[in-house]
Amino acid sequence: MDHGWIRHLAIVVAFATGASAFAAPQRPAEFRDLATRLANAEGIPRDLARARQLYCIAALQGDAESMYHLGRMYLDGRGVAQDDGLAKEWLLRAQRKGDVYAGRLLKLLPSTAARRDPLCIPNDHSHPTRRQITTWVTLLAPEYQLDPKLVLSVIAAESNFNARALSHRNAHGLMQLIPRTAQRFHVTDIWHPIDNLRGGMAYLSWLMDTFDQNIALSLAAYNAGELAVQRYGGIPPFPETQAYVKRILASYQSDRRQ
């Protein structure tokens, strides 16, 4: 029995409602809450390294409480090497965001010089360097069950690492999100590099799940839409889409070999 029409209907419903089988964190507070659970072993095994990464992801999106937790980790040497300079930097950032507890801890570090966290580069401007983008993708991609190298290949094809890229089809930012897709995957600020990456990865991860982890079909759907891939039963016969898939696969395979 051919169940293709059922799968097609499921995709249509998901597209129309914004529903997604994707269960990874979607908002800064969700990353922070999962990090706290990992740090405190609340119902899941303790994993301080991953907790720091999740706090970093939330902090990069402006979450003051995550900045505070990073400051505490460095101040206490919990899961990271103890470092008063890094602790002060994060606590200062949390304080500027209105976290009152950060201000109290800063009193313990009156003469310490603050310095930036090399493992989690704060987003201080709207034109991140390729190195910053690579750092963010390396942090984020595993949370979306994606290979960072694949995501970087998509970014190279979509925007050439230009966070302010805008296409004639109204696609925005690093992962060239259109407003409808951004809304579908809970993107608050389509121009914010981290938010744009998060939305693009959420969509790509959803496509990978929808097309049974087939990278070529998922890339084709990212370019032409999932309904087009479903309609043609494979990569649509659009020259742009076929060239897009070939380009990214070649780049991705080259990066994996290296």
- 240 a catalytic residue: no
Tokens read off for 11: 């995709």
38-67 per-residue burial string, b: 16 or more CB within 10 A, e: under 16: bbeeeeeeebbebbbbbbbbbbbbbbbbbb
- Rounded to the nearest 5°, which phi and psi values hold at 175? -105, 15
Q: What is the dihedral of CA 169, 171, 172, 173, to 10 degrees?
A: -120
Residues in CB range of 123: below 8 A, 6 or more apart: 60, 132, 192, 193, 194
Which residues is 177 bridged to in the sheet? 172
Residues in CB range of 112: below 8 A, 6 or more apart: 84, 85, 87, 88
SS (H, E, C) 99-163: CHHHHHHHCCCCCCCCCCCCCCCCCCCCCCCHHHHHHHHHHHHHHHCCCHHHHHHHHHHHCCCCC
Catalytic residue among 65, 89, 143, 158: 158
What is the C-alpha separation between 25 and 11, in angstroms, rounded? 21
* Positions marked active-site: 158
